[in-house]
Amino acid sequence: MKELAELFTGINNVDRAYYIGLMSGTSIDAIDAVVADFAPFPPHCLATHSVPIEPALKQRILSLCSPGENEIERLGQLDIELGQQFAQAALEVAKKAALNIEKIQAIGSHGQTIRHEPELLYPFTLQIGDPNTIAQLSGITTVADFRRRDLTVGGQGAPLAPAYHRWLLQDRGGAVVNIGGMANVTLLPKDQSKAVIGFDTGPGNVLIDYWMNRAYDKPLDQDGAIARTGKVSEPLLSEMQKEPFLHQPPPKSTGRETFNATWFDHHYSAIAPPAAEDVAATLVELTASTIAAAVLSQPFESRSLWVCGGGAHNRFLLERIAAHLPGWQVETTAAVGMAPDWVEAMAFAWLAYQTIHGRSSNLPSVTGATEPVILGGIFPASRKNSR
């Protein structure tokens, strides 16, 4: 069978292994871009680039994350605007890698999630950043909309990165935790014939960032310095730990639909308000304790935990996770050769690589899907010689 890329563009050589990964997560902090070369193993990251998302744009994205007036119009506009920004980020990272765009096989674009509703009668998940625009403006074939196919076979559509962790770490047994806006865990058994377990554990940085913004007018708690000065408020912690999602068995995934300002206010208003730094410490404790509880909830032989995502920079958070996991070695993914800031973007470059080669990349043991499927849609580049 002809490779998909050949069928679509007629020009791409599928042996070419340069892929761009674009990621913009639930923190809505930045568009992260990488150029990956999948020809060697382990893959090589040629260049990285991060474009901060300005507060006004973040606000417009956030306003689409919950129901509001004139949504379709606002969504349609933002879809194109983000598509343009993603294309620009792709071109900039290609330039940093000193690669002509003809050499790049495809972009894997996650898109910006504005809704994730895997439990509805008609489950759906929506990532925006128009891939037609990305392919047209960049001149690079674009793979996008990775999550929805998994939903069609009964999966959560998330998390998807565990398949990349498995591919990359092979028989290296251990747990990977990505701490972005939400946190997700991957449990990799040493024996590769055993199923990988992976699921969202709950909030990662999202509530910490929210509180920093509200109480300190800061986007984040640099290295966890403010939380470190606080004391955990047991009433607030136990109030928040009542959240049913935290007690559900996997497969499960979550987002800003659950963990948002309204959710926090609901719990915060149920108790006597603690000092601001105590709230910060309590939110770190919530993230740390739910990650640790998730890891310990599954039978698992390894005692290594590797952390990636922006939360890997929060030293206080890492210390609190380690405190909940006595006997475990808690380090960042740098210990296993994965630069913690770029794992998610690398994962989406790899997901595009899989799709272009016609290979499935959802793990049914993780998402709960009934079968493996090829993820995403392919939006071919229109280069001069393919017209």
Ligand X SMILES: Nc1ncnc2c1ncn2[C@@H]1O[C@H](COP(=O)(O)OP(=O)(O)OP(=O)(O)O)[C@@H](O)[C@H]1O
**Residue 333 engages Mg ion in binding (rule: CB under 5 A):** no
Using CA atoms, how far residue 170 sits from 90, 191, 199, in Å, is: 29, 9, 19
Q: In angstroms, what is the minimal distance from the CB of 161 to ligand X?
A: 8
- Report the partner that residue 26 touches, choosing among Mg ion, ligand X, none (CB closer than 5 to 8 A by kind): ligand X
Residue 371: which residues within 8 A CB-CB, separation 6 or more? 153, 364
CA 132 to chain centre: 22
Binding track, positions 337-356, relative to ligand X; x by CB under 6 A = -------x------------
**Count of residues in contact with Mg ion, rule CB under 5 A:** 4
Binding mask 10-49 for Mg ion (x = CB under 5 A): ---------------x-x-xx-------------------
Residue from 126, 207, 220, 330 in contact with ligand X (CB under 6 A): 220
Q: Which residue lies nearer to ligand X by CB, 251 or 380? A: 251
Q: Which tokens hold the place of 335?
A: 């210990």
Q: Considering beta carbons, is residue 4 or 313 the nearer one to ligand X?
A: 313
Residue 12: CB partners within 8 Å, gap ≥ 6?
5, 6, 105, 106, 141, 356
Tell the smallest beta-carbon distance from residue 13 to ligand X (Å): 30
For the record, the structure tokens of 44 come out as 């090589």
By CB under 6 A, residue 111 contacts ligand X: no
180: contact with ligand X by CB under 6 A? yes
User: Which parts of 12-138 are beta strand (E)?
Assistant: 18-24, 30-37, 44-52, 104-117, 124-128
Minimum separation from the CB atom of position 220 to ligand X (A): 4
**CA dist list (Å): 108 to 111, 141, 238, 330:** 9, 9, 40, 30
Which of 8, 209 has the CB closer to ligand X? 209
The CA dihedral of 260, 263, 266, 272, to the nearest 10 degrees, is: -70
Q: Which two tokens stand for residue 41?
A: 């193993």
Cβ neighbours around 190 below 10 Å, total: 12
State in angstroms the smallest separation of the CB of 151 from ligand X.
18
Query: Could you tell me which of 88, 139, 39, 51 has the C-alpha nearest to residue 350?
Result: 39
In the complex, the smallest distance separating the C-beta of residue 50 from ligand X, rounded to whole angstroms, is 9
Assigned token pair, 143: 């793979």
159 binds, among ligand X, Mg ion, none (CB under 5 to 8 A by kind): none
Q: Which stretch binds ligand X (CB under 6 A): 88-96, 266-274, 291-299, 309-317?
A: 309-317
Binding site residues, Mg ion, CB under 5 A: 25, 27, 29-30
Binding site residues, ligand X, CB under 6 A: 23, 25-27, 29, 178, 180-181, 205, 208-209, 220-224, 309-311, 313-314, 344
